[in-house]
């Protein structure tokens, strides 16, 4: 029951929560009895659906339109949270956007917008959140494996996510005495509108080429990422701060030569062939 959930009576503000990971997280917090400030930029109808779901879960939800590129609108977003709830327990910075181009094709406006949306919005939002966390709280930023690995057309967003993770570390140290934990969740290839858009770019490698290279052999789900964000909000993660939790099915731990590229003599037997594997040495 919701009243027994870790989020019962807690208030969360999740940017970009009308769809994807943010939406899934809002639904889950509501099931735990939490209240949610649902932020959206354009999808008012979707945001209201999330608010309705939060109410059905036992919490209270409000939808607040705010473009996270605009500091004034960010301030208005947190003012709405203050007016409605008087405090904040969780701030999840989920909204993100950028241009996918080779570095030589990036214009100054591309660089400025990526900074405003992915770095400045997080820092300004976190500043506002801390002012509402009088009894401590949790801040989680959604990052990407482009923060620690390089791949085509992703430099503008990947570099921004790397900067975001650096901000997480600095905030964690500075705000630990306030009882506020700050962490990042770094997602791999996740089945979402964003990945669908990225892999639909002309000339991009197909998912059929990419997914077999991942040890898990598949895309992740928005729920799998949202579950890891939730862990960072739960009491069980109290001693975790300043960290980036990678949720990528093993993608960032591999490097060429890939296991599937070697010859048969070096390949380990698959599960269905386990009975044919050499027996272990006996004690005798």
Rounded-to-integer distance, Cα 284 and Cα 279, Å:
13
Residue with tokens 């959930």: 5
**Catalytic site includes residue 40:** no
- In a domain, residue 39? The reply is yes
- CA–CA distance, 186 with 85 (Å, rounded to integer): 29
Q: Is residue 55 part of a domain?
A: yes
Residue 279 belongs to some domain of the structure = no
- 258 in a structural domain: no
- Would residue 204 count as lying in a domain? yes
Catalytic residue among 6, 40, 161, 199: 161
Peptide bond into 257 cis (omega under 30): yes
CATH number for the domain harbouring residue 159: 3.40.50.720
Convert 215-237 to b/e letters by CB count within 10 Å (16 or more is b).
eeeebbebbbbbebbbebbeeeb
pTM: 0.89
In a domain, 243, yes or no: yes
Q: Which entry of 154, 170, 199, 223 is annotated as an active-site residue?
A: 154
Determine, yes or no, domain membership for 56: yes
Question: What is the 8-class DSSP label of residue 116?
Answer: I
Q: Is residue 218 part of a domain?
A: yes
> Is 41 tagged catalytic?
no
Taking the CA atoms of 248, 254, 259 and 260 in sequence, report the sign of the dihedral they define: positive
Tens digits of pLDDT across the chain (284 residues): 334 589 999 999 999 999 999 999 999 999 999 999 999 999 899 999 999 999 998 889 999 999 999 999 999 999 999 999 999 999 999 998 888 999 999 999 999 999 999 999 999 999 999 999 999 999 999 999 999 999 899 999 999 999 999 999 999 999 999 999 999 999 999 998 777 767 877 788 888 888 998 999 999 999 999 999 999 999 999 999 999 999 999 999 988 777 777 777 766 666 664 444 444 444 43
Residue 165's domain comprises: 2-248
- The structural domain count of the chain equals 1
Instruction: Specify whether the CB–CB gap between 141 and 168 falls below 8 A.
Output: yes
């Amino acid at each position: 029951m919701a009243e027994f959930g870790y989020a019962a009576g807690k208030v969360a503000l999740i940017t970009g929560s009308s769809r994807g990971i943010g939406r899934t997280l809002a639904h889950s917090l509501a099931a735990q009895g939490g209240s949610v400030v649902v932020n959206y930029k354009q999808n008012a109808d979707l945001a209201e659906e999330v608010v309705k779901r939060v109410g059905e879960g036992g919490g209270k939800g409000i939808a607040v339109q705010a473009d996270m590129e605009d500091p004034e609108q960010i301030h208005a977003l947190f003012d709405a949270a203050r007016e409605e709830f008087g405090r904040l327990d969780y701030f999840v910075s989920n909204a993100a956007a950028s241009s996918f181009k080779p570095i030589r094709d990036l214009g100054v406006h591309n660089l400025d917008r990526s900074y405003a949306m992915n770095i400045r919005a997080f820092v300004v939002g976190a500043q506002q959140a801390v002012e509402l966390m009088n009894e401590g709280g949790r801040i989680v930023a959604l990052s990407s494996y482009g923060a620690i690995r390089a791949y085509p057309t992703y430099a503008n967003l990947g570099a921004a996510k790397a900067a975001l993770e650096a901000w997480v570390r600095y905030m964690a140290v500075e705000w630990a005495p306030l009882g506020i934990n700050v962490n990042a969740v770094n997602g791999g290839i996740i089945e979402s509108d964003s990945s669908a858009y990225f892999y639909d770019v002309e000339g991009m490698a197909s998912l059929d080429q990419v997914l077999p290279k991942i040890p898990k052999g598949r895309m992740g789900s928005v729920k799998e990422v949202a579950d890891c964000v939730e862990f960072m909000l739960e009491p069980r993660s109290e001693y975790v701060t300043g960290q980036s939790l990678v949720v990528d099915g093993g993608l960032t731990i591999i490097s060429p030569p890939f296991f599937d590229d070697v010859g048969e003599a070096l390949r380990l037997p698959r599960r269905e062939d386990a009975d044919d594997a050499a027996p272990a040495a006996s004690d005798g």
